[in-house]
A and B are shown apart, each in its own frame.
Chain A
Amino acid sequence: MNNEWIRIKLKRDNKIASLPRLTGSRPHLTISTSIRIVFSNWHYVVITGVISAIFWIIFSIFDQLLFFTPVFIFYLPDDAVTGFILFTITAILLGIVVGMNVYVLKHSKGLKVNIKSFFSGSSLSVLSSTCASCSSLGFLLVSTFGGSGVTASAFLSNYQTPLRILSIALLVWALYSISNKLTKSCAIKKDDITKKIPNNKTSQ
């Protein structure tokens, strides 16, 4: 009730054009609210699109689905369909999380970007996006660490799909954390506003 009252009050005073409803602790509402806040500005849509496209290209190259030479070609063999779906989701999530982090950095001076979940998610997604043993990553691991490197690259290759799912989970967590911060920032503003409201009105 209090949130709704603040919303009306802010609108009446023309302090903001539109303030989305505060959503309490329901994660899906928190995320959708913050997405509406951030992506109402087309700049962040562009940032998200560009970041998603960059990561999608990187993952496609790592998965050996996209080739630039000798002819430009994208192909999707049967064995790569699951990986393709997972890395496309990862690339979109990465774009959204980066876009929202940029928004937070630009608009909320008091807030800190949650780099833990973002970096964990993005690092894991990149790490698991290639057949480690087939690529130079595996070569590097084997030539540097010998037997342990073989074990490490085999682990990355054998558990590629679960690792990708884990990276998506971490990115969803990062998305939730940043959304939570964004909606909580409204709550902070709420306190500032309530201080200015006469006692007889707040008691309603």
Chain B
Amino acid sequence: MKNKIEFLNVSLALTLLSLALLHMQSSSYPLESIIHVAKAAETAEERAHEENGTGNVQNGFSRVSPEESKQVTKQSEKEVAINLTPHSLIQSGSPLQGNPAAPITIVEFGDFQCKFCDRFAKETEPKINATYIQTGKANMIFKNFVTHGSDSITAAMAAQCANDQGKFWNFYQLLYKNQGEENSGWANLSNTKKFASQIPGLNIQKFNSCLDSSKYKSFVDKDNTLALSSGFQGTPSFVIEKKDGSSRETLLGAYPFPSFQAVIDKKLNE
């Protein structure tokens, strides 16, 4: 009995060590690995949908199998590079704040249930906003990367509905302000509608009908696929790039303002 307990403990410790190594590895992978095939990923996903019929939907979003992910990452880097450019992201309907023609673009891959995304939204984003976005030096695009469960999906779809009326960033702040325990229902349909009703100038009927019809379900799904095919494994993840999509760098985690400052200033001076 005692030996069994000790064996279990040693196994647990080894598992944790592996997880720690995995965590370290995922937090520091080379910048080149970010450039993958978003377009090809979408194609692979669509193919999977067609083959499975049901689309292999789990927890509200489609999961891409490891084999598919590997296949996707092997494809043309050029295609992905195009897909992650500010121009294509804006055209696809992703929420943007700041001047679309700003020399630097920050793309955030986030989840409204993630505590570190909440930290970024409360601590770092206001400083970036004041220093770079309001001054026209940078703009910011939000992409959904929902891995936390049902409330994340609803929140992401609701945020996109708010974006239809140009109120995404108000809703973004409001969601993080009201963030609750994971999947406790804090961001279910009725609560997100309540949050939306607090935004001045937002047409609540239009918002409700958008949310009830799950208009942006496939959009959120595609965002997720883009994040996966970009090699991200956690939230928040950031891509910082020039207007033309060149000089791309990634920050994986809720980095503080000085880290963003270092990267953005370097790009501005290039």
Contacts and interface: CB of A to CB of B under 8 A. Distances in A.
B119 A138 contact: no
B262 A146 contact: no
Nearest to A80: B119
Interface in A49-96: 58, 61-62, 64, 67, 69-71, 73, 75, 77, 79-80
Contact of B258 (A71, A127, A130, A157): A71
B114 A136 contact: no
A126 interface: yes
A154 B148 contact: yes
B23 interface: yes
B89 to A, nearest CB: 22
B10 A154 contact: no
B22 interface: yes
Interface string B1-41: 00001100110110010011011101110000000000000
A120 interface: yes
A136 B254 contact: no
B253 interface: yes
Interface string A116-135: 10011011001100110111
A73 B255 CA distance: 9
Interface string B45-77: 000000000000011000100100000000000
Nearest to B26: A136
Interface string B228-269: 000001111000000000000101011110110011001000
B23 A137 contact: yes
B79 interface: no
Contacts of B111: 133-134
Contacts of B13: 119, 122-123
Interface in B148-173: 148-149
Given A134-B235, A138-B147, A147-B59, A158 B181 contact: yes
Interface string B105-147: 0000001011111110011000000000000000000000001
A154 B23 contact: no
B114 to A, nearest CB: 5
Given A67-B255, A158-B181, A116 B147 contact: no
A133 B259 CA distance: 23
B23 A67 contact: no
A146 B23 contact: no
Contacts of B113: 133
Nearest to B181: A158
A193 interface: no
Contact of A79 (B16, B118, B233, B249): B118
B42 interface: no
B114 A131 contact: yes
Nearest to B257: A75
A61 to B, nearest CB: 7
Contacts of A37: none
B114 A139 contact: no
A134 B118 CA distance: 11
A67 B253 contact: yes
30 contacts: A64-B116, A67-B255, A67-B256, A69-B259, A77-B119, A77-B122, A79-B115, A79-B118, A80-B119, A116-B9, A119-B13, A123-B9, A126-B20, A131-B114, A134-B111, A134-B114, A134-B115, A134-B234, A134-B235, A135-B234, A137-B23, A138-B147, A138-B234, A139-B234, A150-B148, A150-B149, A150-B183, A153-B182, A158-B181, A158-B184
Given A142-B147, A143-B63, A154-B183, 20 more contacts: A61-B27, A70-B251, A70-B259, A70-B263, A71-B262, A75-B256, A116-B6, A123-B12, A133-B147, A133-B182, A134-B234, A134-B235, A134-B236, A135-B234, A137-B23, A138-B147, A146-B58, A147-B58, A154-B181, A154-B182
Interface of A: 58, 61-62, 64, 67, 69-71, 73, 75, 77, 79-80, 115-116, 119-120, 122-123, 126-127, 130-131, 133-140, 142-143, 146-147, 150-151, 153-154, 157-158
